[in-house]
Copies of this chain bind each other. A is one copy, B any other.
Amino acid sequence: MKADFINPFLESILDVLSTMAQIDAKPGRPIIKGDDVACGDVTGIIGMAGEKTKGSLAVSFTAPAICDIANRMLGEDVSEINETVTDLVGEITNMVTGGAKRILGERGYDFGMATPVVVSGKGHVITHKTKGPRILLPFSTEAGEFFVEICFD
């Protein structure tokens, strides 16, 4: 998987968070995941399916990070992972994938987006079952960490 495929997702999530929540997230070093890694406390997952490519995206937030994002985006005092938060995680997952889809579509990689699914539960583990590499992008914000995982077959 080329950086060409990863960068649109990276740009897209930074753009969504700075525009919608005025959060300046710092990307860490992308890593190719070997083993499963315990992720955040709430994760948005979306499938992508096109003629040339298929894959899946997961955006996984720790509770402090997503509560801060929710407070900033919604102006509500959110302190736990409730339906407001899972709705927001679904929206963010959709927006990030939609942003990357536009960029990749201009480069000839068209794909359709499935509907997002949100998983909550402390310490859940996400495994992308694919033959292709799985890339983990770690991010930090003032309030906490989140992760974007991308895989394409």
Contact = CB atoms under 8 A, between A and B. Distances in A.
Interface of A: 36, 43-51, 54-56, 58, 83, 86-87, 90-91, 93-94, 111-130, 132, 151-153
Nearest to A58: B117
B121 A56 contact: no
Contact of A48 (B43, B47, B91): B47
B119 A55 contact: no
A61 B122 CA distance: 18
Given A49-B47, A112-B49, A114-B49, A125 B119 contact: yes
Contact of A45 (B49, B94, B117): B117
B121 A125 contact: yes
A129 B47 contact: no
